Amino acid sequence: MTAILSDRFLDRLARARSVVAFTGAGISAESGVPTFRGNQGIWTKFKPEELANLDAFLSNPSLVWEWYSARRKVMGEVQPNAGHLALARLEQSFPSVTVVTQNIDNLHRRAGSKHVLELHGNIDRNYCMGCGARYVGDEILFKEGIPQCSGCGGLVRPDVVWFGEMLPLDQWDESVKAIESADVVLSIGTSGVVFPAAELPLYGKRHGAYTVEINPEETELSETMDEVVRGKSAQVLPELVKELESRGVGKQTQKISRK
C-alpha cells in the first residue's frame, strides 16, 4: 500500500526551512520495540502506574529494574528502521531538522539524526538517588537484586522520566523553541496522551507550523492536526523522502516564506 502524500503537504515541505519530527513509541515499533498502549502495547501486560513511577520503584526496585533491564536488552539489540533512517536523511533537504522524541531507545541517534532532544530520558543512563553518581548501561553493583551505588550505597535508578516527575528542563526548553520556530511539525507514532509532551505539536500549530500526523491509528492529536497520513512510519517516511528528493527539494531550494 502506498500512503497518500498530499500536494499541500509536499508544497509546505518544499518551502520549509525548519522541520521538527515529534516522535513516540510507534516509530520504533517496526524495529521490534513494543509500544506502551494499544493491542501490541507492553502496558496491556503491565499498567504504567505499576512500573513507571517512583513509588513503584521504591517499593519494589528489583521488579522495576528487571523491567528496565529487559527493555534495555531489546533496545540494544534492535536496529533503527526505515522510518528512523528517513528522518536522518531529511537533514540533507532542510537547513534545520530537529527530532524531539519521547523515546528512550537511542534509535534516532543510531540512525544518524544529529539534533535529537530526549524528553523522557535515555535507557542507557542511570544515576544514584543518594549522591547523583552516573552509571552507564548495566555496569552496576547489585545486592539481592537491588542496584546499588558503589560510592555511597544509594539506590541507582534509570535516568528516565516517570509519571509525576518533571521533564529535563534543557530538553523541554529547546524542544519548545524548535517547535515554535518550525515551518512543519510531524507528529509520528505517538498516542498523544502523555503530557506535557503531547502539547508540543499544538505549540507548533499556534506559531504557524503546518502540522501533520503520521500514524496508522487515530489518536488524541488527530483532530487538531492540519493533516493526517494514515500509515506506518517505516513506510510513509521513506516515501516522503523519495518524493522530496524527486522534486529536487534541497537546502538551496527553500524560500523564507511560510505561507
Which residue's Cβ has the minimum distance to ligand BJW?
Answer: 26
Taking CB under 6 A as the rule, does residue 36 contact ligand BJW?
Answer: yes
Contact (CB, 8 A) for 220 and 54: no
38 binds, among Zn ion, ligand BJW, none (CB under 5 to 8 A by kind): ligand BJW
Residues 4-33 that bind ligand BJW (CB under 6 A): 24-26, 29-30
User: How far is Cα 188 from Cα 243, in angstroms, rounded to an integer?
Assistant: 18
Cβ proximity to ligand BJW: between 5 and 15 the closer is 5
Q: Which uninterrupted H or E stretch holds 250?
A: none
Cell numbers given for 137: 548501561
Report the 3 state secondary structure along 133-172: CEEECCCCEEECCEEECCCCCCEEEEEECCCCCCCCHHHH
116-118 sheet: strands from edge to edge: 116-118, 96-101, 18-23, 184-188, 210-214, 227-229
Q: Where are the alpha helices (DSSP H) in 52-97?
A: 54-59, 61-77, 82-90
- Whether 120 is catalytic is yes
130 sits near ligand BJW (criterion: CB under 6 A):
no
Q: Is the peptide bond before 147 cis (omega within 30 degrees of 0)?
A: no
Choose the one of ligand BJW, Zn ion, none that binds residue 128, judging by a C-beta under 5 to 8 angstroms depending on kind.
Zn ion
Interacting partner of 120 out of Zn ion, ligand BJW, none (Cβ under 5 to 8 A depending on kind): ligand BJW
Output 128 or 241, the one with its CB closest to Zn ion.
Answer: 128
Taking CB under 5 A as the criterion, the residue among 64, 149, 209, 241 binding Zn ion is 149
Question: CA-to-CA distance for 10 and 249, rounded, in angstroms?
Answer: 10
Q: Which range of residues in 54-62, 90-98, 191-199, 243-251 is near ligand BJW by CB under 6 A?
A: 191-199
Binding site for ligand BJW (CB under 6 A): 24-26, 29-30, 35-38, 41, 48, 52, 102, 104, 120, 160-166, 189-191, 193-196, 215-217, 219, 232-233
Write out the catalytic residue numbers: 120
